Amino acid sequence: MDINATKETLKVNKIVCEKKEMITVQGDMIVPDSKPDILNTINTTGNICIYKEEVLDGKIRVDGNILTYIMYLADGEKDNIRGLNTGLDFSETINVPEVQSGMEATLTSTIKMLECKIINGRKIAIKATLEINIKIYQKEDINIITNMNDENIQVLNKRIRVNSLLGEGNTKTYIKENIAIPNNENLAEILKAQMCLLDKEIKISYNKIIAKSELEIKLVYLTEDGKICTTQTRLSAVGFIDMPNIKEENICETSYTIKNIIIKPNSVEEHSVYVEVEIEIKCLAYEEKEIDLIQDMYCPFEKMNFDQKMVNTMTNKQTKKDLCNIREKVNIPELENGNIVDVEINPIINKERKLNGKITFEGELELNFMFLDNSSVGINTKKINIPFEETMDGIDCKENTKVDTTVEVSAQEFVNQAGTINSNIDLNFESNTYRNTEIPVIDNITTEEQEDDLEDYSVIIYVVKSGDSLWKIAKKFGSTVDDIVRVNGIERPEKINVGEKIYIPKYVLKRAKEPIRIA
């Protein structure tokens, strides 16, 4: 028996696992002969580059580099503030039992701690603790039967919404710029360099995804006459990803990875610093699909058998953004007669509460002030914490909802008034939410062979029991929901009462059979 079935392809991109791993990177640095001995370190910062990610069976290999800047107090020097920079290479294998070769992975990495230990005046031990967040995806095309185009086959459908993978792509973008410094300042060496990607946004146009962001670069440098100066700039980064059939209403999940960094005094153009950065942009695009999923089916005249397999997929995928303004006054007596050189800001979420379509985040800002003072060293640092709380509305807060939130500092301003610091900080919150769901998919439909016979017709009386539905009753007695409704004059088929008597028209047709073949 051939049946023309209606099918639809669902492109599943299920999240196999999510994992957070802390890794330690260590190395030694020898002070170049051109630099004076180290007496003490003042500040250490770094930027992560991920060269390569490789998905293997049961593990992921990550290769990268930490571009490290060390500001130190020189031993026996008149102008005693100096700087060092080095690259700390690492190759780490992270065990992920669920992963298989061929799966896709997205990684985000953060420096949680970076410290130096002086071994002797010419040698430093560097230790970095990195947090690697891993998300593993597996793609699969699932053919779903949404309808059986045969009037004799009874189908129980449920309309569901799922997120189907529309496409994926990646691109690389390069920033190559000279950052100017004032003409009256002759650059001696770079003491500190920090960079981060801010204001990430995407636009969809003509089968392309346009990914835009701003690379913020902050430099602290030493001049030839011993002054410590700063400069800050933002450079645009734009990437284009081809994505056929994408529409503005589609959801795009975009990740950015810094692959390589070069920062050095410009050897050609005076009073400038050359910056070169390679950024990889990856995008997964999803469309929301409504599918008439077959939950059950039968034929009153045929004995039908089928299998149901459970398929994992995503639903209710959302992206929400919010801006949190923090306006706080903090007292730092050490800064009463000092000038702020730089402030490092590290936002930390300690707790999140989900309730009634809202998520409230409680956290703190770790602030590290670097400032000039009248001490013998001439520069100092001070750490303080500022608590914050932010609530985002319109969030799916069901129990099985996964929430992935990132926080970035989009703007900052610090005004020193005799040791009282007016802190103005803007935080960008971005929450990506989704739910993993299992859907039953009909498969392997077969029939049992029967001999020729005549069509019989009978009516039986049935008393409704707890847990019954018209579908269950019709299937049990080889009838149809429509016929039971018609014979009994039922106005609301979805509501029947326990103990109620209903008449069931029962059909039996025995005939020579062939296995059903789905066309």
Quickly count: other Cβ atoms within 10 Å of residue 59's Cβ: 14
**Dihedral of alpha carbons 257, 353, 428, 386, sign:** negative
Any idea which architecture 450-518 has in CATH?
Roll (3.10)
Name the segment(s) of the chain with CATH classification 3.10.350.10: 450-518
pTM: 0.86
What's the token pair of residue 346? 């590290």
Q: What's the CA gap between 429 and 182, in Å, rounded?
A: 35
Helix (H) or strand (E) holding 433: strand 420-447
Q: What's the CA gap between 141 and 451, in Å, rounded?
A: 39
Q: Which residues pair with 355 in a beta bridge?
A: 358
Q: What's the CA gap between 418 and 79, in Å, rounded?
A: 27
Give me the pLDDT at residue 2, please.
Answer: 58
> Please, how many CA atoms are within 13 Å of residue 478, restricted to the half-sphere of its CB?
16
Give me the pLDDT at residue 518, please.
Answer: 47
Burial of 134 (0-12, 13-18, 19+ CB in 10 A): buried
Task: Evaluate if residue 52 carries a pLDDT over 70.
Answer: yes
Q: Residue 76's closest CA among 44, 43, 38, 41?
A: 38
What average pLDDT does the structure give for the chain? 89
pLDDT digits (tens, 9 = 90+) for 393-450: 988 777 788 888 999 999 999 999 988 999 999 999 999 889 888 888 888 887 775 5
Average pLDDT estimate for 96-118: 92
pLDDT digits (tens, 9 = 90+) for 467-498: 999 999 999 888 889 999 999 999 888 889 99
Q: What region does 408 belong to: left with phi over 0, alpha with psi -120 to 50, or beta?
A: beta
Instruction: Give the strands of the sheet with 208-223, arranged side by side.
Output: 187-205, 208-223, 228-242
pLDDT digits (tens, 9 = 90+) for 70-104: 999 998 766 688 999 999 999 999 999 999 998 99
CB crowding 446-468: b at 16 or more within 10 Å, else e: ebeeeeeeeeeeeeeebebeeeb
Cα 244 → chain centroid: 23
